[in-house]
Structure 1
Amino acid sequence: MTAKATRQVFGETIAKLGETHPEIVVLDADLSKSTKSDLFAKKFPDRFFEMGIQEANMIGVAAGMAGAGRIPFICSFACFIAGRFDQIRLSLAYGNANVRIVGSHAGVGIGEDGYSQQGLEDIACMRSLANMAVIQPGDDLECAGAIEYLLTHQGPAFLRTTRQSLERVNAEGYQFQFGKAVQLREGADVAIFATGGTVQGAVRAHEALKASGIHARVVNVHTLKPFDAEAAIKAGRECKGGILTVEDHQIIGGLGSAVAEALAEGGVGARLHRVGIEGFGESGTPEE
């Protein structure tokens, strides 16, 4: 299977689901070609709303549409939409609106565009809201399954997608289960917890470590909230070398923080090492 960016999967999937779900509407803040919401716009122009560079207004309009029985998917870069936290907090979270925020171009994986375009604090913001679901798919199968799930989810949700292409990490026939981490590789020497764009690297690390006689468990965390605490507690108890978390996000408030919280509250004294962004992102290729 050819690697595919999850933003592309979003565009293709939402356009397909639009055929059988007339309640779906899509709004974008002047970035439809980048977020791939333009694929829905071409197919259903009467259900697509180009809001211009007005993310705050887009959030308010979507909340009203949700109140009228629609299922709005609102799209922008993750850094731009998370920057409208006040509107998200009051119009979506406080009102428990069935709005799906799609934040694309997440993390330093977007490359040369630099910090101004990199969503590096968005997960921390969204996790702090009491009823906000936070989902970050690790491949095309997971992304398509998550979007289909979001048609029935009650309450606001944040879907984080990538600009860069991701290798498929799940097997054909994979079924998305909201709130349930996926163990991709067996191992009890150490556990690697990854999410979104870092999952493919975790799988490669498993193979490299295996060649050295180290058996690393790989856990794909597609749902960051609600977090599968039991998966972290189980790994902390069973993996003698502890847990390594890897995320394309600030080291505070994301996957590493979720694992740390689960271990502490579960009374597990496992060693934890977090790998993420410390400081600000810089311009460069994703590989750099």
Structure 2
Amino acid sequence: MAEAAFQPGVMVSRPRPDYALLDSGHGRKLERYGDFQFIRPEPQAMWAPARDDWQAHGEFIPASDDDGGGRWHFHQPVPREGWSLTWEEVTFTAQCTPFRHLAWFPDMDPVWRWIRTQLAGKPPSDEAPQAMNLFGYTGVGTLALSAAGASLVHVDASKKSVRAARDNAELSGMSDRPIRWIIDDAAKFAAREVRRQKRYDAILLDPPKYGRGPDGEIWRLEENLAPLIESCGQLLDQDSRCLFLTVYAVRMSALSLGSLLHEKLGHLRGRIEVGELAVQEEARGLLLPTAIYARWSQGNDSA
């Protein structure tokens, strides 16, 4: 049975050439994405910023209601069709989206590295590690794992997102990699994989709080996460390496995620850990929390 290690940890995304959190405070953050700088709302930045003379190419102005809307206001020209960034071997397009983010999530950097470490601990065999990225979005995580030698199944309900992911694979010179691009409801696809008696070495899940599937399916995190994790538990076995679950923008504890994994994956040996994702601010080294996580692994480097 998996050991439950519920002393929360922190996985930190640090400044890199492609991305940096330059400063934060008073409910906002200043970030650099390649050659461009942006200001976005950040309720958890309750402190004062290091500087008050922020300069940015654009700022996302949130709507006055609680629906999460808003618009971008640009102070300097920004390529509307996006611009190229890199993560290790992966080249992809960043872009200002209507949803305030920039078509990828830089705080996932330590997650991708951790999963790659877990897969590197798989005993040598003629078969590449099998990994699945549910809610795979624009595919940066999928390509990060593929570049490390894994065979991937990338699942997202959005045709637009999957098309962007395939475009990023082409930008990265990885169009010929063993990746299945699936447009489907993640929960339904995982349940079908269980019926097909499939197995995976690694599963990455980054579910939204609310969403819709390609056929109008409704996804509500609090209602649908547990059955999905149960399906994932049946897709893993004693030779599998890891599962990583991240959750954003909900009033939920990492401890509850860990307990859910312990219930659904507790039959597997290994270790279940919980914690927070954070981005390190360049100005002062402060850690800005972004998400909570729970992860299961066979124990190859728990850092």
TM-score (normalised: structure 2):
0.29
* Structure showing greater relative contact order (alpha-carbon pairs closer than 8 Å, 6 or more residues apart): 2
Decide which structure has greater strand share. 2
More helix by share: 1
Superposition TM-score, scaled by structure 1 size: 0.30
